[in-house]
Structure 1
Amino acid sequence: MDQAVNWLVENQEAILLFAGKFVIALAIVVGGFVLSGILTKSMKKRLDKSKIDNAVVSFMAGIIRTIIIIASLLMALSHVGVQTTSFIAILGAAGLAVGLALQGSLSNFASGVLIMIYRPFKSGDYVDAGGIAGTVERIELFITVLKTPDNKIVMVPNSRITGNEITNFSQEPIRRVDMVIGVSYDADLKKTKEVLMEVISSDERMLQDPAPRVSVNALNDSSVDFIVRPWVKSEDYWPMYWDSMERIKNALDANGIGIPYPQMDVHLHHPEGQVSELRIANPEKLEQK
């Protein structure tokens, strides 16, 4: 007992110095927890106002909180005299190893965060993302789930989506229907244009503003191609397209306007100098045979 008392008396200054450092270290840790709580709450409020997905907000807030707490613990240990260099080296090596092992997953995660922050699409949109076309079912941190028109569920890695072009067909309220109609060179172009315009104008789904357009687009080998471009609401795009194609075919037939097959003219030269002409319809099918 006397030895313990003597030791305390002899080391009184060192004990008081260590106690002071310990109190300061404890204050650093407590301050780190308090600061992390304040910063995460503030960040959540700011991100909530920007309408970022709640999963991303919570995850980012958790990362910030963890970083602040780890930093405060390292500062506290360093203040009481513990060498933290080895701890930092271990954490760095562990982080590098985990990063290399989960390189693909981390890439998908980072892409998922970007998708949720910038929101190029949302649930319910019809998109072409990562080469897959479908309706967005849900957006997760690592994958985006799409439902294709034939009712298949496709889980697309987020890195594949952000690494390619994203086409959102649902973001704008209206779309232009693009159709190309080929008619015979013998057809009356003015009459053909009137027939095509009448077909699309009679459909109540067509919008008057922007105005529709029917024009000659190309003079191909065996046909004169018209572009037919009415504007419709986005949800009416495919119904308008399919119905218009059928009605255009019937209207052209009713007005005697032909839709030609691909064809080529072959001229045969005989030794006597006579020239014979042979017309081959649909040469693609002839080559296949």
Structure 2
Amino acid sequence: MRDINKALELLLDKLESWGDQIILMLPNLFVALVLLIATFWLAKVIQNALDRVISRFSHSAAINNLVSTLLYIALLLVGFFFVLSVLQLDKVVISLLAGVGIIGLALGFAFQDIAANFISGVIIAVQKPFGVGDMIETNDYFGVIERITLRTVDIRKPTGELVKLPNKMVFENPLTNFSFHGIRRVDVEVGISYAEDLEQVQKIVTEALEDVKNRVKTREIEVMFDAFGDSSINFKARFWVSYSRQVDYVGAKSDAIIRIKKAFDANDILIPFPIRTLDFGIKGGEKLSEELQAITASIKNGQPLGGNGH
């Protein structure tokens, strides 16, 4: 019975001391509460102001939201640490800082690939080497960009498949942006007969390509002979077209081929078929020509075939 009474007395004394400490800390609690409310209000005001400022320099919604959110969280953490200091919980502040550092280090090792993609996405958003709607080729993938996030670049291939490339791969590897200048050169390879007048061919091809689809009129058409082929003289017809989609390129090339073919037909210019000469070497130790001559002679003389192999 004495032990129970003693335990109750100790408990009451402890509760009384806690009550006294709470009463003594009431001013600090009030200040801490006001400071916490002010922190939330100030962080929100600064975040909204930063959103307006950043939007003037950056058109990437992902980057703008990221920067403003990080600043908002940082301000809340600072205010939270001040609140703990006002409540004289300095040891808790130190423990929290140490814990945050350890957790951050562990997460850095565990999610280093995600962090690399995230950082690459931020750099891509800032540098803007390409944008949504651009036709690009990278990492052996060719297509139009449908979406850019802080983790992936989404590419829609001409055949319809959607490829999600991690930002790290896009950032670290060579990339070709076909839409950067808004124009693209089309090369059409053609072969003509050795009997044709080359200067006349140049003139006919140039005239045929004057009104090809989407052609950039300020760029000249080039017809350049570049090789003596096995059965033809080869040349390349080169011209520039306005380019925003892949169909602009393939459509112009198809139209150019049709126009060149019609022009050649109208002017009797021959596009030769490949020529192959077959040489039947030696058969059974004798030349095939000699074998044929022997057979012909045997027939004329009325001799039967066979026996000696003829």
What is the TM-score when the length of structure 1 is the normalising length?
0.72
Counterpart of 2:56, as a letter, is K
Matched, 1:165 2:174: yes
Q: Provide closer, same or farther for how the CA distance between residues 105 and 262 of structure 1 changes in structure 2, counting only shifts above 3 A.
A: farther
Displacement of 1:249 in angstroms is: 4.0
1:66 paired residue among 59, 67, 73: 73
Q: Provide closer, same or farther for how the CA distance between residues 87 and 205 of structure 1 changes in structure 2, counting only shifts above 3 A.
A: closer
2:259 paired residue among 247, 254, 262: 247
Matched, 1:36 2:48: no
Answer whether contact 2:136 2:175 (CA < 8 A) is retained: yes
Deviation track 1:222-241 (CA, whole Å, cap 9, x = no partner) reads 46443322222215322111
Q: Provide closer, same or farther for how the CA distance between residues 119 and 7 of structure 1 changes in structure 2, counting only shifts above 3 A.
A: closer
* Identical amino acids, percent of aligned pairs: 26
Q: Provide closer, same or farther for how the CA distance between residues 193 and 159 of structure 1 changes in structure 2, counting only shifts above 3 A.
A: same
Matched, 1:45 2:52: yes
Q: Provide closer, same or farther for how the CA distance between residues 131 and 36 of structure 1 changes in structure 2, counting only shifts above 3 A.
A: farther
Equivalent residue for 1:85?
94
Secondary structure, counterpart of 1:57 in structure 2: helix
| d(CA) in 1 for partners of 2:276, 2:170 | 43
Pairing 1:264-279 to 2, within 5 Å after superposition: none
Secondary structure, counterpart of 1:108 in structure 2: helix
Pairing 1:68-147 to 2, within 5 Å after superposition: 68-78=75-85, 80-83=88-91, 84-147=93-156
Q: Provide closer, same or farther for how the CA distance between residues 92 and 193 of structure 1 changes in structure 2, counting only shifts above 3 A.
A: same
Q: Provide closer, same or farther for how the CA distance between residues 67 and 232 of structure 1 changes in structure 2, counting only shifts above 3 A.
A: same
| d(CA) in 2 for partners of 1:187, 1:24 | 97
RMSD: 3.7
Equivalent residue for 1:277?
none
Counterpart of 1:136, as a letter, is I
Equivalent residue for 1:151?
160
| d(CA) in 2 for partners of 1:104, 1:7 | 53
| d(CA) in 2 for partners of 1:220, 1:263 | 16
Answer whether contact 1:105 1:142 (CA < 8 A) is retained: yes
Q: Provide closer, same or farther for how the CA distance between residues 134 and 200 of structure 1 changes in structure 2, counting only shifts above 3 A.
A: same
| d(CA) in 1 for partners of 2:233, 2:102 | 68
Counterpart of 1:115, as a letter, is I
Deviation track 1:87-113 (CA, whole Å, cap 9, x = no partner) reads 222111111222222222222222333
| d(CA) in 2 for partners of 1:69, 1:146 | 38
Secondary structure, counterpart of 2:252 in structure 1: helix
Matched, 1:176 2:185: yes
Answer whether contact 2:120 2:168 (CA < 8 A) is retained: yes
Counterpart of 1:120, as a letter, is P
Displacement of 1:7 in angstroms is: 8.0
Q: Provide closer, same or farther for how the CA distance between residues 258 and 65 of structure 1 changes in structure 2, counting only shifts above 3 A.
A: same
| d(CA) in 1 for partners of 2:233, 2:32 | 84
Work out which of the two has the higher radius of gyration on C-alpha atoms and give 1 or 2: 2
Matched, 1:228 2:199: no
